[in-house]
Amino acid sequence: VLDILVPHGTDAVKLRNRTFIRFLARTMVFVFRCLFLTLRKRIVPAAPGFSPHCEPDDEHRSIFCVWHDAILGAIFCNRTVNVAALVSQNYDGTIIADTLDAVGIQPIRGSSSRGGAAAVRQMFSLAEQKHLVIATDGPRGPRHQVKDGIVYLASQSGLPIVPVAVSCSWAWRPKGRWTDMLIPLPFSQFYVLGGEPIRIPLNLLPQELGPYRELVQKRMDELQQITDRIAAGEKLEWPVAHEAQTAASSSGEARTSRAA
């Protein structure tokens, strides 16, 4: 997206100018809000209340797990309520942070290489009152690979991880960046499918995160495959109840195995 709005060769000094960045962010908000108004959207959470579009009460506050290439859908598909999202501290992240702020999503600045510790502290603080959204494969990839960070955050905060998959009947994926960002074309059908919340045991040690990361990876892959097939025109039922039961069962098996 930034390759389009910020052509190659743009003076780096301009990207450091806060006024220019805010203008660019608000331009993005206007463009994509207009685009998403043309879409036929289908948004289906697996469990009632576990949605960034619902007020985050004590029972339903969650960490929403999305892929980095689905960021536009996460931001513009619907109005969010009391949501904070993790954003990197590079120049691209500054524009995204201002974009999030313009649509009412609180940005948390940090990554594994810059500002990570401060971002983690802020996320733990905000987890007491807001939903959290994390693009778990991060800006550096590998693409569609779940990292340990989201599992660690869930284990330390007690919040469930809610997998989210996004797909579209007609979309443009501009090349040149590893993410291949999903940009829906006007008047296309846009699908968002939420998975069953995954409960992670509290206070896991770093060496214990692996099985739960694999569980989240499995649920994200399954959910993305189903959403892509529906967006491609296959006549499938939304497998919400089945997916919810399977995810809950697998999560329970993982907890039982650890307890044993």
Predicted local distance difference test score (pLDDT) of residue 127: 87
Residues 6+ apart with CB under 8 A from 218: 250
Structure tokens at 208: 């214990």
Average pLDDT, the chain: 81
Residue 94 — very low, low, confident or very high, per pLDDT cuts 50/70/90? Answer: confident
Q: What does the pLDDT look like over 119-154, one tens digit per residue?
A: 888 888 888 889 999 999 877 778 899 999 999 999
Predicted local distance difference test score (pLDDT) of residue 260: 32
Compute the distance between CA of residue 23 and CA of residue 245 in angstroms, rounded to an integer: 46
> Which amino acid is located at 126 in the chain?
L
Predicted local distance difference test score (pLDDT) of residue 188: 97
Residue 198 — very low, low, confident or very high, per pLDDT cuts 50/70/90? Answer: very high
**Of the ranges 94-103, 198-207, 251-260, the best mean pLDDT one:** 198-207
Residue 258 — very low, low, confident or very high, per pLDDT cuts 50/70/90? Answer: very low
Mean pLDDT of 160-164: 95
Residue 110 — very low, low, confident or very high, per pLDDT cuts 50/70/90? Answer: confident
Give the pTM.
0.81
Predicted local distance difference test score (pLDDT) of residue 62: 93
Q: Is the pLDDT of residue 209 over 60?
A: yes
Residue 35 — very low, low, confident or very high, per pLDDT cuts 50/70/90? Answer: very high
Locate the domains of the chain by residue range: 2-259
The answer to which of 3-7, 101-105, 231-235 has the lowest mean pLDDT is 3-7
Q: Could you tell me which residue, 87 or 80, shows the higher pLDDT?
A: 87
Predicted local distance difference test score (pLDDT) of residue 58: 72
